[in-house]
């Protein structure tokens, strides 16, 4: 009898004191953001001891493939997943694979937490499906010491930019680092060139599938892009490198510039961080406004999540000033929460650049239908390797656009 009572009490203790599990699948595989998320989890568990948060981390490119499987599975395994705002989120929401997170704002409103301008990129059919955590700018990152050594000033126009590239090349330094083993880095170049040449409205129409890819205005973008390629300003053999591998050429001083998001600072060695600065991508057509890339990162709840209640509690914490301030400070990012100031001078400069811009886009593969994005980015790499095939590449892209969007 005594053994039975001890067993019963043990079972009761387990039931009463067992923690409720929240599973988070994350693409934050680089050391700095991975550590920053771990700190947030620790803060959450200290504040809500009834929960245990398990974080499963996957390589960024693997995560993009696996997410589709997780979301479509009859039985969910993750309660929260990291992802991107914009079309990338809406694509899954439209298929009914996401759980709305409006409960996060119960008793308050979206604008109490985040900029009203962010809401459209985080919603679908008047329901919120995405909690933004941080956002960042893209710019031309460069080594200040190299520019100073050769008396180079940050260029403001396309001609000045080409002149800087030529000066660097003449000194035996690769002007522009880029790694295109995964093609999204090339998409960044396409985006900014299209924004500088054709403007934001045209860019939005293109990413929405409304513009033919063999339109002369798109061909003009590739013709400007070809100037960089033909002059040999990009890192040689760039298709063999992932973006971080290409960044090592910049960090070693073998390359001078890299058009990249602010997260390049995450992987920069400590002795290089203070020597990294950025400038706004140069103007090409002065009559076109200055538009920039500002991707928004955050979290979603799968429709098949086993623990939706716990997931909502976790996202309430993620949305808070406390959590967003911590994450932004640890990584030098801009928090999505409106009550969090830029964490350092570098972030203040990035924010100021965005505030002075005429509008912003997310990113090609975040604003475009995922199937079109994959086809488009692969075509961009093909162009970078075979620039003489512009016309045939764009004609093929146009055929794909018609197929994917059902255009006759």
Same domain, 242 and 313: no
Place of tokens 């090409």: 284
Q: What are all long-range contacts of 32-37, with beta carbons under 8 Å and residues at least 24 apart?
A: 32/266, 32/267, 32/330, 32/331, 33/263, 33/266, 33/331, 35/330, 36/326, 36/327, 36/330, 36/331, 37/327
- How far apart CA 101 and CA 300 sit, in angstroms, is 8
Bridge-partner residues for 21, per DSSP? Answer: 52
Domain count, the chain: 2
Same domain, 261 and 246: yes
Which of helix, strand or coil describes residue 213?
A: coil
- For residues 319-344, give the mean pLDDT: 94
Same domain, 85 and 109: yes
Same domain, 217 and 271: yes
Residue 336 is classified by DSSP as S
- For residues 365-373, give the mean pLDDT: 89
Q: Taking the alpha carbons of 212, 216, 219, 224 in that order, is the dihedral positive or negative? A: negative
In this predicted model, what pLDDT tens digit does every residue of 217-275 receive, in sequence order? 999 999 999 999 999 999 999 999 999 999 999 999 999 999 999 999 989 999 999 99
Same domain, 400 and 326: no
In this predicted model, what pLDDT tens digit does every residue of 134-161 receive, in sequence order? 999 999 999 999 999 999 999 999 999 9
Establish if 11 belongs to a structural domain: no
pTM of this prediction? 0.84
Q: 229 with 171: CB under 8 angstroms?
A: no
Q: At how many degrees (to 10) do helices 321-331 and 31-47 cross?
A: 160
**What CATH number does residue 99 fall under?**
3.40.190.10
Containing structural domain, residue 192? 138-293+369-405
Same domain, 32 and 100: yes
Q: 267 with 30: CB under 8 angstroms?
A: yes
In this predicted model, what pLDDT tens digit does every residue of 120-138 receive, in sequence order? 889 999 999 999 999 999 9
In this predicted model, what pLDDT tens digit does every residue of 168-204 receive, in sequence order? 999 999 999 999 999 999 999 999 999 999 999 999 9
């Amino acid at each position: 009898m005594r053994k039975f009572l001890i067993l019963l009490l043990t079972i009761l203790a387990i039931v009463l004191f067992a923690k409720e599990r929240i599973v988070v699948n994350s693409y934050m595989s680089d050391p700095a953001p991975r550590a920053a998320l771990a700190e947030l989890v620790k803060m959450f568990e200290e504040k809500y001891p009834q929960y245990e948060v398990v974080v499963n981390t996957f390589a960024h490119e693997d995560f993009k493939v696996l997410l589709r499987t997780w979301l479509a599975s009859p039985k969910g395994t993750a309660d929260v997943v990291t992802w991107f705002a914009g079309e990338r989120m809406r694509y899954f929401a439209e298929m009914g694979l996401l759980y709305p997170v409006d409960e996060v704002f119960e008793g308050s409103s979206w604008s109490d937490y985040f900029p009203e301008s962010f809401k459209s990129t985080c919603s679908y059919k008047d329901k919120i499906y995405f909690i933004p955590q941080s956002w960042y700018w893209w710019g031309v990152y460069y080594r200040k010491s190299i520019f100073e050594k050769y008396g180079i000033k940050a260029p403001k126009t396309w001609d000045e930019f080409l002149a800087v590239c030529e000066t660097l090349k003449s000194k035996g330094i690769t002007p522009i680092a880029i790694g295109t083993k995964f093609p999204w880095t090339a998409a960044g170049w396409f985006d900014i060139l299209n924004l500088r040449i054709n403007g934001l409205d045209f860019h939005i129409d293109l990413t929405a599938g409304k513009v033919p890819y063999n339109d002369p205005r798109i061909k003009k973008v590739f013709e400007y892009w070809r100037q960089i390629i033909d002059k040999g300003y990009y890192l040689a053999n760039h298709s063999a490198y992932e973006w971080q591998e290409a960044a090592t050429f910049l960090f070693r001083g073998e390359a001078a510039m890299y058009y990249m998001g602010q997260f390049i600072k995450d992987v920069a060695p400590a002795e290089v961080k203070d020597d990294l600065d950025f400038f706004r991508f140069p103007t090409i057509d002065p009559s076109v406004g200055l538009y920039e890339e500002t991707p928004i990162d955050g979290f979603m709840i799968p429709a098949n999540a086993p623990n939706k209640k716990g997931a909502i509690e976790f996202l309430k914490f993620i949305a808070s000033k406390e959590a967003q301030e911590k994450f932004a400070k640890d990584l030098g990012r801009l928090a999505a929460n409106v009550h969090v100031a830029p964490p350092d001078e570098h972030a203040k400069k990035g924010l100021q650049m965005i505030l002075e811009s005429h509008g912003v886009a997310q990113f090609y593969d975040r604003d475009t239908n995922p199937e079109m994005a994959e086809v488009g980015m692969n075509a961009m790499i093909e162009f970078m390797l075979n620039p003489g095939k512009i016309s045939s590449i764009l004609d093929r892209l146009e055929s794909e656009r018609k197929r994917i969007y059902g255009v006759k």
